[in-house]
C-alpha cells in the first residue's frame, strides 16, 4: 500500500513493529506525525525504528516546522516529543548510499533510534 504518512486510511490497525526510514525530514508536519500518528499506530510494548539524516529542506518541510537546525537539535527535539509515550532503547549512526545521477552518489549517515511504546 502506498500512502501519505500524515493521512493514513481509517482502520489500518496497530502494529508491534514500525519502521519509519528517512521519513521525518520529508514530512510537512513532522511533529504531528511523531506526537499523534505514530503513537496511534503501535501497540503497548511495540518497537519503533526511526532513521533520519535530518537533512531538512523547505521543499518538504517549512523551516518553522523543522525539529532543529542541526542533527543534534533534531534528535533532542525528537526525544522530547517521544518520551511521554516511548522509551529510547538504542541509538546509532546508520550509513547509507543515495544515487543522485548515473555518476553521482551521496554517502551519508542517518540517526537510527529504536523506541519502545510504554
Model confidence at 3: pLDDT above 90: no
For residue 9, count other CB atoms closer than 10 A to its CB.
9
Tens digits of per-residue pLDDT, 17-31? 999 999 999 999 999
Confidence of residue 86 (pLDDT cuts 50, 70, 90): very high
Distance of CA 33 to the CA centre of its chain: 8
pLDDT band at 59 (very low <50, low <70, confident <90, very high): very high
Going from N- to C-terminal start, the domains of the chain cover 15-117
Segment 62-73, tens digit of pLDDT: 999 999 999 999
- Let me know if domain 15-117 sits in CATH 3.40.50.150: yes
Amino acid at each position: 500500500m502506498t500512502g501519505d504518512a500524515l493521512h493514513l486510511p481509517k482502520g489500518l490497525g496497530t502494529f508491534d513493529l514500525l519502521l519509519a526510514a528517512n521519513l521525518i525530514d520529508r514530512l510537512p508536519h513532522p511533529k504531528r506525525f511523531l506526537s499523534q500518528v505514530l503513537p496511534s499506530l503501535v501497540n503497548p510494548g511495540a518497537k519503533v525504528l526511526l532513521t533520519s539524516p535530518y537533512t531538512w529542506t523547505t521543499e518538504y518541510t517549512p523551516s518553522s516546522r523543522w525539529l532543529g537546525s542541526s542533527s543534534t537539535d533534531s534528535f533532542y527535539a525528537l526525544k522530547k516529543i517521544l518520551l511521554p509515550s516511548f522509551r529510547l532503547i538504542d541509538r546509532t549512526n546508520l550509513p547509507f548510499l543515495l544515487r543522485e545521477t548515473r555518476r553521482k552518489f551521496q554517502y551519508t549517515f542517518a540517526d537510527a533510534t529504536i523506541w519502545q511504546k510504554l
